[in-house]
Chains A and B, each alone.
Chain A
């Protein structure tokens, strides 16, 4: 069983909808949580990171962490066709300068 589980999708939603992406994890040592966006054949682009339970908002994106349930989410409001990409959750332990453990990624398509 993988340390980080993520529904691979694919997920298709109409433009303007709210998107919810989720990951669960089993390793209690994970303290830093990140969301990356990856376009086809490109490098992962860091969207958000957080190290505490609760919500963190940045524009149309909200990251949510529930350490007690070992569950993290990324919400995208007012989704745009340009949001179509693969979204990867990633986690690291301790002080955050350690290797990242990724989920398998969710392929998202926003339909105009």
Chain B
């Protein structure tokens, strides 16, 4: 079965640079979520989109922005990167209200800020 695709899988950036993470949800899934997982920590919710509209916002820094496109893929844009942004970034997708409680996660993008 098709899964959530994330790219790139690994990314190394310098402080103050920008990064763009991409997420391709499972076909027919209309809701996308972004989570950040620091070393040894649980995933923390950043932001979500339903039908291309922002549906919820968590502890996402103002330096980050995201959007969902017409083909339902989503991009997380991160600017003025800081050392503390180094983490695993997961995208998850779901059918939203049609299949509540089931968010499927991608393999993640490992971001390292030097």
Q: Which residues of B contact A25 (CB under 8 A)?
A: none
Interface residues of B (CB under 8 A from A): 4, 31, 33, 35, 41-45, 48, 50, 55-56, 58, 88, 90, 92, 94, 96-97, 100-108, 110
A9 to B103, CA, bound (A): 25
A92 at the interface (CB under 8 A from B): yes
* 5 CB < 8 A contacts A-B: A32-B100, A34-B102, A96-B101, A97-B55, A100-B35
CB distance B48 to A43 under 8 Å? no
Given A41-B110, A97-B50, A97-B96; A32-B105 close (CB under 8 Å): no
A70 to B107, CA, bound (A): 30
Look across to chain A and name the residue whose beta carbon is closest to the beta carbon of B98.
A97
A43 to B108, CA, bound (A): 6
A34 to B90, CA, bound (A): 17
CB distance B90 to A44 under 8 Å? yes
Q: Which residues of B contact A34 (CB under 8 A)?
A: 101-103
Given A32-B100, A88-B42; A97-B108 close (CB under 8 Å): no
Q: Which residues of A contact B58 (CB under 8 A)?
A: 99
CB distance A44 to B105 under 8 Å? yes
Interface residues of A (CB under 8 A from B): 32-34, 36, 41-46, 49-51, 88, 92, 95-105
Closest-CB distance, A23 to chain B (whole angstroms): 11
Q: Which residues of B contact A32 (CB under 8 A)?
A: 100-101
Closest-CB distance, B47 to chain A (whole angstroms): 9
A49 to B97, CA, bound (A): 15
Look across to chain A and name the residue whose beta carbon is closest to the beta carbon of B57.
A99
CB distance B43 to A44 under 8 Å? yes
Q: Which residues of A contact B102 (CB under 8 A)?
A: 34, 46, 49, 96
